[in-house]
Every structure is written in C-alpha cells, then in structure tokens.
Structure 1
C-alpha cells in the first residue's frame, strides 16, 4: 500500500490559499477603481434607496415618565 504524500497535499493547500488571496486582492483593486454609487448595493434591502422609500424605518417607542 502506498504512503500518503503529505508534502504534496500541503503544497496544494498553500497554492489554493495563495490563489484565493490573489483573487481577493484583484477584486478589491477592481472595486477601488470602479466604486459603486455611494457604496449602495442594488437590491440590498438594508442599503437600497428604493426600499427605504417604501418601507420607512420603525422608531421604537420610548417609555415616558407618566406611562
């Protein structure tokens, strides 16, 4: 029976990690070159201006001294 080649497996993990890091850096640079409109993501209910116009934020009721 063949023995596991741990060095090869480790190298593959390192290469995958390096590729992921490079992809992330590339995406970050791309976002920096072409920023979206004021950082709002389209369709995101928390940041989408259209959804804020239709669903106004709820204001929690504060307790009063008499109530």
Structure 2
C-alpha cells in the first residue's frame, strides 16, 4: 500500500534545500569578491545627516 503524501513537509524540504543552495552560492560569491568590496554600506548614517 502506498504511503499518504505529506505535501506540506515535502514543500518545506524543497524550500529548505533551495535556500541552502542559494546561501552556499552567495557565500562563495562573497568569498570570491575582493576584500574592499566585501561589505559596502547600503544606507548612509542618519545621525550624520541631521547635524
């Protein structure tokens, strides 16, 4: 007798695996990037603007 499908669990497992692969690719890309561009600030500091 075949097992009953557990769609929610299977979907979560696929998403988890996909997220792990994406994180691995981003980590490899960040490691390959030159150190001066590793962490670029995305927003200017708000405290320096209001002075």
TM-score under structure 2 normalisation? 0.59
Q: Aligned-pair RMSD on alpha carbons? A: 2.5
Aligned length: 43
Q: Structure 1 or 2: larger helix share?
A: 2
**What do the CA deviations read for 1:6-63 (whole angstroms, capped 9, x no partner)?**
2x221111011000000000000000011351644134446xxxxxxxx4xxxxxxxx
In the alignment, does 2:22 pair up with 1:23? Answer: yes
Aligned to 1:9: 8
In the alignment, does 2:12 pair up with 1:37? Answer: no
Runs of 4+ in 1 over 2 A off after TM superposition: 42-46
Q: Which runs of 5+ in 2 are unaligned?
A: none
Q: Could you say if the C-alpha distance between residues 27 and 38 of structure 1 is closer, same or farther in structure 2, counting changes exceeding 3 Å?
A: closer
Aligned to 1:52: none
Question: Whose Rg is larger?
Answer: 1
Q: Which runs of 5+ in 1 are unaligned?
A: 47-54, 56-67
